[in-house]
């Protein structure tokens, strides 16, 4: 993950948010879940960067979109609850984050928060990540 | 007037430019007056610890409306430790962040990590000079 790539993701995400009429935060993390870049649009809630980062963290950790994780973990609430309390990783499994894929490899993830209902977060994150084809991780 | 994202990213760019001039790799975190993140950049090759250092210093600087380096000497006193604990443990009262003050009002702070403490502060000051 490079800062340049992260900026490109954020630009695409903000363009999509503007097109849909939402004020969001877009956060890009590396494959270890550490923040690379984040922008909060004017008027977006202050909590949105934290949620965006936590969603991106989940997408990076599980190498899957949080749309997929939401579906998987809804059926396994006990497991998901346990995972969110591991250490201080601050996972959020709600839709709105996708892995960033380069040459078939996951190099990081992008998370979005602020576009309610969260299907819009997913659409913005998908645009930000460049509509990636996510390799199966499990 | 609260900082806009456009203003924030001017600060960001100036801080990163200063780091390039100093030939160091840094993370830059810019928060609002409440210590909440507005924008963040980690330069390629910056240590990942700087992700957390830069944010922690920015929060401390916004909370106390002064350069975080001025808190360093008192970092171990009950009052600074108590405030940091009560806030939730996000603050780092060490050199490397400066507040963004406009017309006498604190509007946020710029925190930097990845260089020496003095280099971090120099980058933060270069950024904040743009406001």
**CB–CB of A46/B34 below 8 Å?**
yes
Give the integer Cα–Cα distance in Å for B62 and B32: 8
Confidence of residue A57 (pLDDT cuts 50, 70, 90): very high
Within a 10 A sphere around the Cβ of A2, how many other Cβ atoms?
Answer: 17
pLDDT of A3 over the 90 cut: yes
Q: CB distance B42–A35 less than 8 Å?
A: yes
Taking contacts as CB-CB distances below 8 angstroms, the residues of chain B near A25 are 37
**Unique residue bearing structure tokens 């702070």:** B109
Closest CA in chain B for residue A49: B37
pLDDT at site A45 = 98
Q: Inspect the interface and report whether the beta carbons of B37 and A50 lie closer than 8 Å.
A: yes
Compute the half-sphere exposure of residue A82: CA atoms within 13 Å on the CB side of its CA: 4
Q: Do A30 and B48 touch (CB under 8 A)?
A: yes
Of the listed ranges A89-93, B13-17, B22-26, B60-64, the one predicted with least confidence: A89-93
Among A2, A25, A34, beta carbon nearest to B51:
A34
Q: Do B51 and A3 touch (CB under 8 A)?
A: no
Range with lowest mean pLDDT among A91-105, A124-138, B22-36: A124-138
Report the alpha-carbon distance of residue A14 to residue A40 in Å, rounded. 9
Contacts of A31 (CB under 8 A, 6+ apart): A1, A60, A106, A107, A108, A109
The pLDDT tens digits of the residues spanning A32-51 come to: 999 999 999 999 999 999 99
pLDDT, tens only, B30-81: 999 999 999 999 999 999 999 999 999 999 999 999 999 999 999 999 999 9
- Per CB distance under 8 Å, which residues of B are interface residues toward A? 4-5, 9, 27, 32, 34, 36-44, 48, 51
**A69 preceded by a cis bond (ω within 30 of 0):** no
Q: Is the dihedral of CA A71, A113, A119, A64 positive or negative?
A: negative
A39·B36 Cβ contact <8 A: no
Instruction: Give the contacts of B128 (CB within 8 A, at least 6 positions apart).
Output: B11, B98, B99, B100, B110
pTM score of the predicted model? 0.93
Classified as helix, coil or strand, A69 is: helix
How many CB pairs lie under 8 A apart between chains A and B?
Answer: 48
Beta bridge partners of A12: none
Instruction: Please determine, for residue A102, whether its predicted confidence score (pLDDT) is greater than 70.
Output: yes
pLDDT for the residue numbered B104: 95
* Cβ neighbourhood burial of B130 (10 Å; 0-12, 13-18, 19+): middle
Q: Assign A138 a pLDDT band (cuts: 50, 70, 90).
A: low
């Amino acid at each position: 993950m490079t800062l340049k790539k992260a900026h490109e993701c954020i630009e695409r995400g903000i363009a999509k948010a503007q097109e849909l009429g939402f004020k969001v935060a877009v956060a890009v993390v590396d494959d270890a879940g550490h923040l690379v870049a984040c922008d909060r649009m004017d008027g977006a809630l202050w909590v949105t960067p934290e949620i965006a980062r936590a969603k991106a963290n989940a997408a990076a950790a599980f190498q899957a979109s949080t749309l997929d994780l939401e579906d998987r973990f809804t059926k396994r609430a006990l497991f998901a609850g346990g995972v969110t309390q591991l250490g201080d990783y601050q996972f959020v499994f709600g839709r709105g984050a996708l892995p960033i894929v380069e040459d078939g490899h996951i190099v990081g993830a992008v998370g979005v928060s602020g576009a309610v209902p969260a299907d819009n977060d997913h659409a913005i994150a998908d645009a930000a990540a460049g509509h990636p084809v996510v390799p199966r991780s499990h | 007037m609260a900082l806009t994202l456009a203003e924030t990213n001017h600060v960001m760019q100036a801080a990163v430019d200063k780091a390039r001039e100093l030939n160091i790799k840094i993370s830059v975190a810019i928060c609002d007056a409440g210590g909440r993140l507005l924008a963040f950049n980690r330069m390629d090759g910056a240590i990942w610890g700087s992700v957390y250092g830069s944010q922690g210093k920015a929060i401390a600087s916004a909370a106390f409306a002064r350069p975080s380096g001025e808190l360093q000497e008192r970092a171990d006193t009950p009052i600074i430790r108590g405030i940091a604990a009560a806030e939730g443990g996000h603050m780092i009262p060490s050199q490397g962040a400066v507040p963004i003050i406009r017309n006498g009002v604190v509007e946020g702070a710029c925190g930097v990590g990845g260089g020496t403490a003095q280099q971090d502060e120099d980058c933060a000051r270069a950024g904040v000079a743009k406001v």
